[in-house]
Amino acid sequence: MRKAKDYLIKPDPLDPRLTERVTGIDQTGAKIETSVTVERALTIFLNSQEIVTAMTIGDYPEYLAIGYLLNQHMLLPDDVVTKVDYDEDLAVVVVRTKRKTNYEKKLKKKVQTSGCAQGTVFGDLMEALEDVELPDAELRTSWLYSLTNKINTTPSLYLEAGAIHGCVLAQEDRPLVYMEDVGRHNAVDKIAGWMFKHRVRPDDKIFYTTGRLTSEMVIKTVRMGIPILVSRSGFTAWGVELARKANLTLIGRARGKRFVALAGEDRIVFDQDLRFVEEESAKHRRKAAVHDE
């Protein structure tokens, strides 16, 4: 088996901008000091129009803005982005396009989702799933087990401080881009923005998330054109229904040797001998029990 290269982008849990040390007491009354995740407001503009203010950890604001607009179908796949301006002091990012845009009516038509930290999708987004055809692909179980092990052992804010969600773009058994944020939808959007900027093809990719497999996660994965979505967490009924409708391979509860597939099972190739698969470490199980949901 080829040796996988390192991530193109991975978490930096030592970045001082992303966490703060605070003091408190534990269950015995003893004083403790612990890391907590920082969240900041970021306002996204498309040309001259204010679109949304998101709560985010603040890294990769340009990818977040582009990905959010893509996943809300405000930025189109063939749009030309002429410039992205980010002002850290004002906490504003402006995405400028060659095409003139006006989404005043669209902004009034929103659906609140179960995604934490202001998760929303706009009303016509789910209708657009009917026009999406996901490509043929395969998921070898040997890739799945290798991939989840690499992700679970990667230093991250998820393991360091919690109150965070992680998403990973992968190809076969290699994790490529690992993004984290206080809202799972923000982590997805950062990856979508990275893919758009670098013109990365989606048809041979796998998408992994630490969070629940909700309708929002399914919609965004399908909109990105990625045929396989994996999570260590569970499902919602609507997420499963939409995945089946879109023929998205949907795998949840992927922990150690175990996983459950509830849609797109025909893409799975069972090539891994389970006798040689390690169970999840106790440290990760404890952390995940607190942060998954």
Mean of pLDDT values over 118-132: 60
Q: Do 153 and 175 form a contact (C-beta atoms < 8 A)?
A: no
Domains of the chain: 139-291 (3.40.140.10)
Confidence label for 3 from pLDDT (cuts 50, 70 and 90)? very low
Dihedral over Cα of 259, 262, 263, 264: its sign: positive
pLDDT at 128: 60
The CA–CA distances, whole Å, from 73 to 81, 166, 194, 195 equal: 14, 23, 16, 15
The pLDDT assigned to 288 comes to: 55
What is the arithmetic mean of pLDDT over 223-227? 94
pTM: 0.86
In the chain, DSSP finds a helix count (H) and a strand count (E) of 8, 16
pLDDT at residue 122 is higher than 60: no
Q: How many residues does the chain have?
A: 293
Question: Does the pLDDT of residue 84 top 90, yes or no?
Answer: yes
Phi, psi of 183 (to 5 degrees): -115, 135
Would you state the pLDDT for residue 163?
Answer: 76
Q: DSSP state, 90? A: T
Number of Cβ within a 10 Å radius of residue 7:
18
What the block records as the tokens of 126 is 């789910």
pLDDT of residue 109: 58
Average pLDDT value for the chain:
87
- Mean pLDDT computed over 105-114: 57
- Tell me which residue has tokens 């795998």: 251
Comparing 80-89, 151-160, 170-179, 229-238, which segment has the lowest mean pLDDT?
A: 151-160
218-229 average pLDDT score: 94
Q: pLDDT tens-digit profile of 42-64? A: 999 999 999 999 999 999 999 99
**113 pLDDT above the threshold of 70:** no
How far apart are alpha carbons 68 and 26 in whole angstroms? 38
Contact of 264 with 232, CB cutoff 8 Å? no
